[in-house]
Structure 1
Amino acid sequence: MTAVLSIQSHVAYGHVGNSSAVFPLQRLGIEVWPVHTVQFSNHTGYGFWRGRVFDGQAVDEVVEGIADRGVLGGCDAVLSGYLGSADIGHAVIGAVGRVREANPAAVYCCDPVIGDVGRGVFVRPGIPEFMREVAVPAADVVTPNHYELDLLSGTTTTSLSSVKEAVAAVQAMGPKVVLTTSLVADDTPDDAVDLLASEGGRHWRVRTPRLDVAVNGAGDAIAALFLAHWLDTRSAAEAVARASASVHGLLAATEAAGSREILLVAAQGEFVSPSHTFEVTEV
């Protein structure tokens, strides 16, 4: 059975971070070992929350406890998302090192959460540099949104060709596989949004209808789903096809319900049998 160590934030109510990534992985039959970097009542988009942020030592201690069980050799991948501090980031990289020592075939999937269009950079100072200089170079798979791809590559991209160049620049840092989400290029229709999966000098695009829904946690879910399907198929094209179909179905159900939180549980069938599939085009 595939096992994934997922080091992310956690909320009791709603679905972001591990609360968004763990269940889809489990629904696909993957054993998940969640390590929480924060424990909040709800995501911060509500403007008020309760709970606490853990430090790097807390993450180290939990990973050490897992290592005590003698199971790290059975871990196939490490997944990380939002980092509250560089301290947490170094703990994640330490965990990746321990897993790779126990299982050299294990991969690290980094969702380099830094910011987004309209919001700009929303992480603490030092995190963008940590992502660019430490986390991304250590990763095998990265899943930036279009805004984050530009930040990581140090460019501003509008055309598909410039996006490909930015992807190549990120791959030159270390990762073999790049999934660019929320991609809007010159040729992206106003009523659509693109995803671009890149691997081995080739690029595959999936275009899905733009939905009128603004919720947190969708990026965490697609990073987890893309990793799951890439581990299963070792094909970026197949992984983006499956992950995009599932997340579109999840968001469509959320939009139809008018929900502020993604319907991760109610729409769980989308993870195993999506309502719609979309054409994957090599570009």
Structure 2
Amino acid sequence: MQTPPRVLTVAGSDSGGGAGIQADLKTMLALGVHGMSVIAAVTAQNSVGVQGYWELPAEAVRQQFRSVVDDIGVDAIKTGMLASAELVETVAGLLADAEVPVVVDPVGVSKHGDPLLAAEAVDTVRTRLLPVATVVTPNLYEVEQLTGVKVTGESTMREAAEAVLAFGPKWALIKGGHLEGEAADLLFDGRREHWFRAERHDNRHTHGTGCTLASAVASFLAMGNEPPQAVAAAKEYITGAIRGGFPLGAGIGPVDHGWRSRD
């Protein structure tokens, strides 16, 4: 039997199942790759917010990573919630020698506005994590947090991408999901602009959108796609997942990771 592409997520656990490690692994399964995980933090989280989180010791993160990579191997790596400067530094060091695509989702805050990254860790993300990224996938809040650039429309997304690229990643994917109108994202490598557009669905149940998109990009990169093709395929997948988002609990429900099996 042929082994599927292998994708490793280094991120936090979402006890509600809509985002984080849980969303990453669901996405990977839906897209036909083998998902593996390094848990960096554990959250107490549900549809109305994050009630608390606890980061794992750096050595636990390091040993999980080495255990998977040294035996099973990987074809792409995705990072999500890393919580602290120490964990960002640890993970960046592990990724420095990676010879596979790395997708960095610079998670700073939850869907409900709860902080998921210590304030003192932001500079470590800029200087240590972004330089090892093949693709970095910030939303507009994270763009402003990392660069100071406030995106007010599509006309300022190129400026935002340039500001992110200044920290060293190969590609910046600026997600315009928080703007008005159609859902437009810009992928930029300093030379070529690639725009990805989709109909905006009137659905408030969008928990896990960022984790899911980044995991989908990593999955398609693991299959051998170049970043523009990987992002195009991931955009199609996340658009369907948002369309199928469903109510869960008293607050914001998750996107539907398994929408393709139900369409």
Query: What range is the shorter-chain TM-score in?
Result: 0.7 to 0.9
Number of aligned pairs?
A: 257
In structure 2, which of residues 151, 159, 165 is the aligned counterpart of residue 157 of structure 1? 151
In structure 1, which of residues 125, 132, 148 is the aligned counterpart of residue 126 of structure 2? 132
- Contact kept in structure 1, 2:50 and 2:110, CA below 8 Å: no
Deviates more, 1:219-228 or 1:26-35: 26-35
In structure 1, which of residues 195, 216, 228 is the aligned counterpart of residue 185 of structure 2? 195
Are 1:27 and 2:30 counterparts? yes
Aligned match of 1:281: none
Q: Alignment identity in percent?
A: 22
- Structure 1 pair 193/241, CA: closer, same or farther in 2 (3 Å)? same
Shift of 1:167: 0.6
Aligned match of 1:261: 253
Using the alignment, how far apart are the partners of 2:110 and 2:16 within structure 1?
23
Q: State the AA in 2 paired with 1:55.
A: P
In structure 2, which of residues 60, 69, 76 is the aligned counterpart of residue 58 of structure 1? 60
- Structure 1 pair 204/266, CA: closer, same or farther in 2 (3 Å)? closer
Equivalence map 1:227-266=2 (5 Å): 227-232=218-223, 234-255=225-246, 260-262=252-254, 264=256, 266=258
Aligned match of 2:88: 89
- Structure 1 pair 36/268, CA: closer, same or farther in 2 (3 Å)? farther
Shift >6 Å, 4+ stretches: none
Q: TM-score, structure 1 length as denominator?
A: 0.77
Using the alignment, how far apart are the partners of 1:47 and 1:78 within structure 2?
25
Deviates more, 1:176-185 or 1:7-16: 176-185
Aligned match of 1:278: none
In structure 2, which of residues 156, 172, 175 is the aligned counterpart of residue 178 of structure 1? 172
Using the alignment, how far apart are the partners of 1:208 and 1:121 within structure 2?
29
Using the alignment, how far apart are the partners of 2:171 and 2:70 within structure 1?
31
Using the alignment, how far apart are the partners of 1:121 and 1:198 within structure 2?
27
In structure 1, which of residues 18, 37, 40 is the aligned counterpart of residue 40 of structure 2? 37
Q: State the AA in 2 paired with 1:33.
A: M
Aligned match of 2:142: 148
Gaps in structure 2 of 5+ consecutive residues: none
- Secondary structure of residue in 2 paired with 1:123: coil
- Contact kept in structure 2, 1:17 and 1:81, CA below 8 Å: yes
Q: TM-score, structure 2 length as denominator?
A: 0.83
Using the alignment, how far apart are the partners of 1:159 and 1:44 within structure 2?
29
Q: State the AA in 1 paired with 2:185.
A: L
- Structure 1 pair 45/61, CA: closer, same or farther in 2 (3 Å)? farther
Q: State the AA in 1 paired with 2:27.
A: P
Aligned match of 1:112: 106
- Secondary structure of residue in 2 paired with 1:126: helix
Shift of 1:28: 1.8
- Secondary structure of residue in 2 paired with 1:82: coil
Using the alignment, how far apart are the partners of 1:78 and 1:253 within structure 2?
26
Using the alignment, how far apart are the partners of 1:117 and 1:42 within structure 2?
11
- Contact kept in structure 2, 1:206 and 1:241, CA below 8 Å: no
- Structure 1 pair 212/33, CA: closer, same or farther in 2 (3 Å)? closer
- Structure 1 pair 53/152, CA: closer, same or farther in 2 (3 Å)? closer
- Contact kept in structure 2, 1:198 and 1:236, CA below 8 Å: no
Q: State the AA in 2 paired with 1:89.
A: V
- Secondary structure of residue in 2 paired with 1:22: helix
Shift of 1:21: 0.7
**Rg larger in structure:** 1
Using the alignment, how far apart are the partners of 1:18 and 1:177 within structure 2?
23
Shift of 1:41: 5.2
Using the alignment, how far apart are the partners of 2:32 and 2:67 within structure 1?
24
Higher relative contact order (CA 8 A, sep 6+): 2
- Secondary structure of residue in 1 paired with 2:185: strand
Q: State the AA in 1 paired with 2:128.
A: V
Give me the CA root mean square deviation: 2.9
Shift of 1:112: 0.8
- Deviation string 1:51-72 (CA, Å, 9 cap, x unpaired) is 8431211101222333553x4x
Using the alignment, how far apart are the partners of 2:134 and 2:195 within structure 1?
18
Q: State the AA in 2 paired with 1:64.
A: R
